[in-house]
Amino acid sequence: MAAATKNRASGHGRTARIVTRSTEQFGLPVLFALMVLFFATYSMSRRAFTSSENINNILAGQSVTGIIALGMVIPLAAGYFDVSIAAIAGVTNVAAGSIIVEHGQSIWTGMLAALVLGGLIGAVNGVLVAYFKVNGLIVTLGSYTVLGGVVTWYTKGASISGVPGSLGNWGSEKWLGIPRPFWLLAVVGLIIWYGLMHTPFGRQFEAVGSNEAAARLVGIRVERLVFCSFVLAGLIAGIAGILLTSRSGGADPTAGPSYLFPALAAVFLGATTIRPGKYNVWGTILGIFFVAVGVTGFTLIGADAWVTPVFDGGVLIVAVFISTVVGRRRAGHAVAVVPKPDEPVPVSEADSVTAEA
């Protein structure tokens, strides 16, 4: 009798764990599907929401935000925040626009300059964080502020326009009926996902983020990994800056920083799904469109202008809360295992997604 009771209790416990894990992993996709279904069938939003124009606007319009958010995933996987990425995207947008329009250089020169500048700014952040041991959040918050001031000083607050059509039109064109910017987002996401999950070098980022001290003990060059994470984030921000130049046909000194909070909300939302408790590429992309669909839907049913910032901020708070709870709960049931540099990294569930190494 006692044994039967114990077996039933054990079975109920396993069922509860399965339900909890399934809810954590697939809760956001289900909620996203329900939200899309609501706006697609609600009388006040149905026609506009389901139009091809609106769908294409969402896919193309979130591409810059998505690439910025994906850039954040890399240093976060290593345990460090980089909130300067949106500002780096703004700087590289201005750099590309200025070089092409004001200095008469080729499109390729402007694009290369944007990538190099993004990588250099990321390298400065990386040196300060990895080798001088300055808090990553403080360094990148400072960079965010400084870069915003530099852009305003350089442009005197004026926009730059007149990018040649070969670049300016690219951001509004389609391939296979889908906006090109979305394809770029998908390619960047696929590359980052493959690099982090399926290469020895990429998997070491998660090892460092899970347990930096243990990673150091088994021979992983932690400083190099952290430095590289910021450089890669800067390069990805450069890609976002180039895309922003293409979509706007020029450069706007105020554009970059406006992407910060939507990108942060998407990253933290992403950490609540697919691989709950961990920053991940596909969860981040889902988070991007969750926020975008929510804002668009509420706008179409006549919500006031204040709804957008409230929705962004509310999603960010809820996502951080859920990410923290999931990370702590999983940390109580697992112990991080850090591999040697030449060995695959097992999926550890020990790290809290909000830890700053």
Q: What is the pLDDT of residue 345?
A: 44
Listed by start position, the domains of the chain span 31-331
Q: What is the pLDDT of residue 183?
A: 96
Q: Which fold has domain 31-331?
A: ABC transporter involved in vitamin B12 uptake, BtuC (1.10.3470)
Q: What is the pLDDT of residue 350?
A: 39
pLDDT at 154 over 70: yes
pLDDT tens by residue, 117-152:
999 999 999 999 999 999 999 999 999 999 999 999
Q: Residues 295-307: what's their mean pLDDT? A: 85
Please give the mean pLDDT across all residues of the chain. 85
More confident site: 326 or 269: 269
Q: What is the pLDDT of residue 89?
A: 97
CB 220 within 8 A of CB 207: yes
More confident site: 80 or 165: 80
Q: Which residue's structure tokens are 């870069």?
A: 147
CB 98 within 8 A of CB 251: yes
Q: What is the pLDDT of residue 356?
A: 44
Q: What is the pLDDT of residue 339?
A: 44
- Enter the pTM of the model: 0.84
Among 27-31, 241-245, 345-349, which is the least confidently predicted range? 345-349
CA atoms 40, 46, 49, 52: torsion sign? positive
Among 27-36, 116-125, 223-232, 328-337, which is the least confidently predicted range? 328-337
Among 5-19, 51-65, 84-98, 270-284, which is the least confidently predicted range? 5-19
pLDDT at 217 over 60: yes
Q: What is the pLDDT of residue 137?
A: 95
Q: Residues 2-7: what's their mean pLDDT? A: 52
pLDDT tens by residue, 10-19:
555 566 566 5
Confidence grade of residue 54 (pLDDT, cut at 50, 70, 90): very high
Q: What is the pLDDT of residue 10?
A: 54
Confidence grade of residue 155 (pLDDT, cut at 50, 70, 90): very high
pLDDT at 254 over 60: yes
pLDDT tens by residue, 157-211:
899 988 887 887 888 888 888 999 999 999 999 999 999 999 999 899 989 988 8
CA atoms 93, 99, 101, 107: torsion sign? negative
Q: What is the pLDDT of residue 340?
A: 45
Q: What is the pLDDT of residue 227?
A: 98
Confidence grade of residue 46 (pLDDT, cut at 50, 70, 90): confident
Q: What is the pLDDT of residue 124?
A: 98
Q: Whole-angstrom Cα distance, residue 270 to residue 14?
A: 26
Q: What is the pLDDT of residue 1?
A: 53
Q: Residues 292-314: what's their mean pLDDT? A: 84
pLDDT at 240 over 60: yes
Q: What is the pLDDT of residue 115?
A: 97
Confidence grade of residue 347 (pLDDT, cut at 50, 70, 90): very low
> Among 148, 152, 140, which residue's Cα sits nearest to residue 71?
140
